[in-house]
Amino acid sequence: MPTETRLREAICDVGRRMWSRSQVAANDGNISVRTDSNEVLCTPSGVSKGFMDPAELVKLSMDGRTMGEGRPSSEVLLHLACYWARRDVGAVVHAHPPYATAFAALGKPVPTRYLTEIAVALQEVPCAEYGAPGTSEVPRSALPMLETADAFLLRNHGVVTVGTDVWEAYHRMETVEQGAMVATIIAQLGGAEPLDDEQLCDLAAIRREQGLGVKAADYDPTDCLKRLSEQEEAIDRE
């Protein structure tokens, strides 16, 4: 496991790449990483992902308590929910790449039956139901997606990708946007024949050989739902 210093640098590096590739604008998007001490490093609120300093990142406990200075992203509950629900997730990236976000605005999944690369890498990119930003509605809408997908859309919002580390999560974000862009161009050109079921079956075998896909043993929403309910009850008491 990289040191905390290395993790902070990696988050900032990913943030710069997201900004330079127009996956985020202004202060959009957020990134987090789970450390080996089972804490979370998260991007701060109100800061451009293209111009972050490692010292600005906020450290949280797994129950969401801020450890030190700084205010975490308003979507930190979404990130925590990914860790609570998936034991294999070591990093979460949320961004608004234009083509994939257009599919999110339409409430449609990103097509994965046109390209062998996206079919192998992700298999599916479903779209979650709408949730009000910064509320528990967003992680609750994400939970069903996490059972089978490593990348998914938030309705009228953007894209979420998870990975064992921040680079895997970020590369999945690139894959989603590439697939969405190609699917859009295909539609503009009049359409194309998608991969058939037999071809998809062959690609699924490649996915299994590469150890890709969500393992049933890694997904358990029970603790996540309990923690979200506790968060909601605490807000109601305020």
Q: What is the pLDDT of residues 94-111, one digit of tens each?
A: 999 999 999 999 999 999
* pLDDT in the model for residue 238: 54
Token output for 186: 């295909």
In angstroms, the CA 164 to CA 115 distance is 24
* pLDDT in the model for residue 69: 87
Amino acid code (one letter) for 28:
D
In angstroms, the CA 111 to CA 209 distance is 23
**In this structure, how many other beta carbons lie within 10 angstroms of the beta carbon of residue 199?**
13
Q: State how far Cα 21 lies from the chain centre.
A: 17
Residues with active-site annotation = 75
Q: Which of 232, 229, 222, 212 is nearest to 85 (CA)?
A: 222
Residues 78-83: what's their mean pLDDT?
97
Predicted structure pTM score: 0.96
Domains of the chain and any CATH numbers: 4-219 (3.40.225.10)
CB neighbour class for 2 (10 Å; exposed up to 12, middle 13-18, buried from 19):
middle
In angstroms, the CA 100 to CA 182 distance is 10
Q: Indicate whether 236 pLDDT > 80.
A: no
In angstroms, the CA 41 to CA 79 distance is 10
Q: Indicate whether 135 pLDDT > 70.
A: yes
Q: With beta carbons less than 8 A apart as the criterion, state whether 126 and 78 touch.
A: no
